[in-house]
Every structure is written in structure tokens, then in C-alpha cells.
Amino acid sequence: MQNRKAAYDPHYLFLFLSLSFVVCASVGAEDLDYWQIVLTYDSEELTLMEASEMGPMRKKVRTPGLLGAPGVIECRAEWIDESGDLLATTEAQIPVGRRVAETSSDHSTEFMPQAGVIVIRIPGPAHGTTPRSIRLVPTQAKKFGGIVREDHKAFRELGSQDLLIENLKRVGQTSKVEGPISATKVRDTGDDGNRFVLVFVGDGYTAGNLSSGDYDTDISNLLNSFETNNSWSVFFDGTNFYRVDVESNEEGADEERGPGEPSPPPVDTYFNTSFWTQGLERLLDSDTVGEMRAIMAADDLVGVGVWDQIVMVVNSDKYGGSGGDVVVTSVNPGAATAIMIHELGHSFVGLADEYTSPYPGYPPGDPEPNVDFDTFLPMIKWHVWIGRDTDLPTPDIPANDGVVGAFEGARYLENGIYRPMRDCLMRTVSNPNFCKICNEAHILEYMRSVELTDNVVPPAGSAHKIEPPGMNFGVVPLPIEGFEYEWSLGGQVLEEAVKPELQVTQGDVTPDAQELKLVVSYPSPHVRQEVIEKTFVWYVQDSGADTFTPTPTRTHTPTFTLSPTQTFTSTETPTMTDTPTSTMVFTDTHTPTATATETSTQTSSPTLTETLTTTETASPSPTERLLEYDLNGDNTVNAVDLVMHLFNIESETSEVETVFDFSLDWQHERQGQ
């Protein structure tokens, strides 16, 4: 193959890669389960401490701290059996590095500990298959933060050693008392398998602190801060919290001193937390033993893979903390809650710091949802929030408090990069709330992490003959306010049916099969960039019918992602052997316009063999561009031909024959805000 033209459109490259990923990821998926892998490392060695199968859950599997990690090592995970044969090959992302609690004058430190713990959750061999070892082979490294690089031999040899799963060892205890003594679910909003689960563990709390209620009071104060924060309050009723009670022999943490003061005697605490880690006064962190104990406590008392985030609360009034898969915070009266929620903005949502103080060596870029290099309205990530008359760039003056625009200065730069609003908890730790864009990012990440419903009755996709007195259909939604419900039968919307349940009687149906559809949506005023909805379909007919012959169309499962806020969804007519399933779609609502207040709607449903025509002068949409490559006229797109056409590549032969079947119809809807 010879490349005739170096220039290409990266948008369509991303389209192709996205399609490839979806197809490849599905191959053999039924033979894989999720595993939690826990590694410890120091300057010389990487050690596998835990490899545990995770139980089934409805929520998305998350690697703790991955979104906010200063660096990510992408790996190929090779699972090896007793005979040395390859059981499975999957993908893994290893988060590396930690963040330091900010102060009003110093925001700029991320670091790579000399030793630490890493938790990853990845697909692995199915239940009943016994792997002997796992090999993590690095394929790519991504550096998102100004991480201090250490020459860790352990990571240089990653990929050359088999990490033995059999005969696993765990870090021994060094405290004089045994570890976690109990766990209390201090807020229970439903099944942990479909909730974001946060676990509090306390360090430096003695038996007296536990019995007096000091620890309980500190946790209650932190818990209340979630309910009052503008973002967490939205899904607070869909989040579960645990408190793990752990006895330490002494109160406080190591190195509770000021600059120039002599070091006090070490404090005997269970999780071994200390100030002045890496020589930074405010860097309050645990060591490898302590972090491993926290993970073991969460695993043993909450469940392997069930917890999503650990927050270690240290019994000290001194300002300090750190962020990562385990967030650490002191109980400083003026800053504890802000440190915790700010760090969760990194680890849960992947937000950028919006500070402008210099950070030498911090890599350039704007991958996070709350920063952007652009000031051209249609290209700004949050353009749907920007008003018609807003100046771009937006002057950083008091008159623009509360205005969404493009304010210069963020991500440790004073110039050339822009943030959505004047102030935010990601910019000022004393600010109790997030800006509108960071708030939206929290809501979207939460909704992506869980299913919108806890239960569906009867199962979606099932067929039923309706007999007197009728049959009930419906869903049990998340216990969060704001959901709306639209029912339709046989393609006709049932205007008065606005609840999550519906009774269908024999008089409502016909001898022919009809589609009963429920669309559950979350039309929040806090979300503009995406439409959050999920569709459920059943088939119903009169019990007097001899046979069941479905005729309606349904939403098909495959959704091919173009970007975090764009999807194409195919539709097809089902057969009785094609069991439909519910689908959740985050639909793109971006329509670049000259002004933010203009609204336009464009709907097209062409077949793949149709020739598209348009009166618009703009470039073809991704849908239109894709449809041009039904080269064989048989409703399929050849991946090799697609790439060759997109990038003007010429070849006489093709050794790869990968075909994507996009079905007969495509539907792409764009709705302006």
C-alpha cells in the first residue's frame, strides 16, 4: 500500500477507530468476566497482591482514580493458564501518580510516589477458568499531569514478568491492634450493584475517639458536604456511603509540624498517614502498607469491585490531603470538605485544575471537559451554554459573575487556554460549588456510570398475550428526582401515561402484535450537551390470537460512538429469534451555529444505497460522509475500503476483509439548544 496523501481528516480517523473498537471489543465478550487486580510497587519490584473475580453488577466497572490520574499506562493483559497457554488477552489501563492538596498560593504539584499501590479493574477469564498468572505488556503511555518521573525499575520491566496469581500474599499488619472492626452503611439508597459507592476509612482515631462519637461526627460533616454541594446533591439520593471504623493506637498523623520545626515522635496509626510526604508540608498521604489496608478493608467489608472510591479521613486539624484511587484529607475545619470534593472532581469526573499559577513541565493540552483552547463559538466544548451577546474571550470582571463564556487562564497557564466561568471549585478551593460546566460533567459521568433503572418488569424484549384483567409493565427508576416517562403502543404515544408503570388491558391490544415502548429520560436543566434517555420495548397482543407475529420496529442495541457527546443509533425490524434489549443513548445535541440562542433541527433517515443531496453549504455530516462508502450497494461498509477512501490511500490488494453491517437504515438527529 502506498500513501498518496499525508493530510487526512482526524474526525473520520476517530470514526473508524471507534467502529473498530466496538466490533473488536465484542468478540468473545461472553467468555469474559471482570477482575480486580491490586499491585504494589517500589523502585525495584512490581508485586501482584490481589487478583479477584468481581461479582455481576449493573453499573459500569470503574478503575478507581483512572480519570484523574496524572499518567496512564495502557497495557495488553495476557492471562496464562497452568500449562503456560494463553487463556485470554484483554486491555488494561494502569493509573499512575497522585495529586497534592492545593493551597491558596500553591496549586502545582503532582507526584509519582517512590512506592505505592495500584488498583485496576479489567476483563479477564470467565468464572470457572483458573489463570496461573497475568502479564501486563505496555502498549502506550499517556501523561496528563506534571508528574515527577522516577526511574522505577518495576515499571521498566513491566511486560517481561509473569505476575503469579496462585499463592498470593498480602501486606502484613504492623499495628498492635487488629484491623477494621466494623463497617456501617451510613447512607443506603439501594443495591450497591447500581450505585456509586464511596467508602470512608479513618486514621488516627483511637478506641476512645470511636466510642465518644468523634469519628462519627467527622464523617457526618463530610457526608453533609455532598448533600449541599451543587453537583453531588443532584445524585446524592443515588449514592451509597460506608463508614469503616478502624482503631489506631494513637491520635493524629506523623509529622504534624510546621516548616523548620523538629520532627515529633512517630504516631502509631493503622493506615500510617503522614504530612510532609515528598518534602511537601501539605502532602498528607498514606504509605504502601496503609493504602493496601484501606483497599483490603473496602474489599472485605463492602465487596471486591463494589466500591468506587475510598476517602481516608485523618484525625488532624492540620491542613493537608492528596488525591488518587484513595483520596486522603485531614479534618481541617476550613478545608476538609473542599479538599475532598475538589479531588473527587479529578478522580471521578476527570476535571482539570483551573488555576493559572505556573507549573513548569506540565504537559500542554485541553483534554478535560472544563478547559478549551478555542474561542470560536462553534468549536468551544460548552458552546451550547454560551449566550448570543457574550464576548469571546470573556472579560474577567465582576459584571460577568455567573456568565458562561471563555475566560482566559486555566490549567496552570495565564494565557491561551480558557475556562467556562470566572470561578469554580476547580479554581478556588474556598468556593463550595462547581461551575455550570463542571456541574454538568458530574451529572453526565454519574449517569454513564449506572443504569437509569434498578429493575424492569417484565424483562425488556419479552412478548406477552394479554388476558383479563390485564398486565402491568414498568420500571423501577433510580431514586433521583427529574425522570420523565413516555409510553407508546403500536407507535401511538399514550399522552396520559406519564408514570414509570402502566397496566395494559385486553381492550388496549389487537390480534396482531404491537410494540409497547417506554422511553425513560432525564431532561435536567443542568445538562445541555447530551440527552440522557433509555428505551424499553415489549411486544403485546390479544390472548385470542393463534400465533404471535411481531411487526413493529425497535431500537437496536449497537451504538457507535463518535465522541463523548455524539452517537449514531441504528434501527431494524425484529424477528422472534432476535430478542430486543433496552438501550441507553447519550445523544449529541451540538449544532454549531453563529449564535448560541439559535435553534435548528435536522433529521434524516436515508438508506445506505441512496445518494444524499443537501442544500446546505456546510461540509457533509459524519452520517452523510459514512453513507457514501456503501461501495458494494449491499448495505455494508468494508473497513479497508472505507479507510482507503477517507485518507486517499491506493492499494492493489487487500489482505484484510473486515465488514461492518450497518443495517438498512441510519437515523441521525441533531437538535440545537
Contact at 8 Å (CB) between 94 and 73?
yes
Element containing residue 554 per DSSP (H, E): strand 554-563
Average pLDDT score, the chain: 78
Using DSSP, state whether 240 is helix, strand or coil.
strand
Beta strand extents in 575-672 (DSSP E only) = 583-588, 601-604, 636-638, 649-650, 659-661, 665-671
User: 423-458 b/e with 16+ CB inside 10 Å = b?
Assistant: bbbbbbbeeebbbbbbbbbbbbbbbebbbbbbebee
Confidence check: pLDDT of 295 > 60: yes
Contact at 8 Å (CB) between 114 and 42?
yes
Q: How far is CA 27 from the centre of its chain?
A: 22
Confidence check: pLDDT of 260 > 50: yes
Please state which of the ranges 157-166, 359-368, 469-478, 643-652 shows the lowest mean pLDDT. 643-652
Q: Given this model, what pLDDT does residue 543 score? A: 85
Q: Given this model, what pLDDT does residue 546 score? A: 64
Q: Given this model, what pLDDT does residue 417 score? A: 97
Per-residue model confidence as pLDDT tens digits over 106-157: 655 788 888 999 999 999 998 888 899 999 999 987 766 555 455 567 777 7
Single-letter amino acid, residue 253: A
Confidence check: pLDDT of 258 > 70: yes
Contacts of 250 (CB under 8 A, 6+ apart): 204, 206, 267, 268, 269
Contacts of 57 (CB under 8 A, 6+ apart): 192, 193, 194, 305, 306
- The rounded distance, in Å, linking the Cα atoms of 167 and 405 is 56
* Higher per-residue confidence, 532 vs 110: 532
Closest CA to 333 of 217, 255, 247: 217
Element containing residue 484 per DSSP (H, E): strand 484-489
Mean pLDDT of 250-261: 94
Q: What confidence tier does 541 reach under pLDDT thresholds 50, 70, 90?
A: very high
Q: What confidence tier does 73 reach under pLDDT thresholds 50, 70, 90?
A: very high
Confidence check: pLDDT of 448 > 70: yes
Closest CA to 241 of 332, 309, 312, 305: 309
- The rounded distance, in Å, linking the Cα atoms of 163 and 180 is 28
Reported as half-sphere exposure (CB side, CA atoms, 13 A), residue 583 has a value of 17
Whole-model pTM?
0.77
Q: What confidence tier does 637 reach under pLDDT thresholds 50, 70, 90?
A: very low
Confidence check: pLDDT of 631 > 80: no
- The rounded distance, in Å, linking the Cα atoms of 314 and 505 is 59
Q: Given this model, what pLDDT does residue 150 score? A: 55
Q: Given this model, what pLDDT does residue 31 score? A: 61
* Higher per-residue confidence, 322 vs 634: 322
- The rounded distance, in Å, linking the Cα atoms of 199 and 160 is 35
Q: What confidence tier does 358 reach under pLDDT thresholds 50, 70, 90?
A: confident
Query: What is the grid cell recorded at 29?
Result: 465478550
Structural domains in the chain, sorted by start: 30-164 (no CATH), 182-349 (3.40.390.10), 377-428 (no CATH), 451-564 (2.60.40.10)
Q: Given this model, what pLDDT does residue 167 score? A: 57
Confidence check: pLDDT of 502 > 90: yes
Per-residue model confidence as pLDDT tens digits over 558-577: 332 223 333 323 333 333 33
- The rounded distance, in Å, linking the Cα atoms of 330 and 321 is 6
Q: Given this model, what pLDDT does residue 106 score? A: 61
* Higher per-residue confidence, 108 vs 594: 108
Q: Given this model, what pLDDT does residue 80 score? A: 94
Cα dihedral across residues 42, 46, 52, 57: positive or negative: positive
Q: Given this model, what pLDDT does residue 65 score? A: 92
Q: Given this model, what pLDDT does residue 109 score? A: 72
* Higher per-residue confidence, 6 vs 216: 216
Confidence check: pLDDT of 62 > 50: yes
- The rounded distance, in Å, linking the Cα atoms of 471 and 451 is 25
The backbone region for 305, taken as left when phi is positive above 0, alpha when psi lies in -120 to 50, beta otherwise, is: left
Confidence check: pLDDT of 639 > 60: no
Using DSSP, state whether 217 is helix, strand or coil.
helix
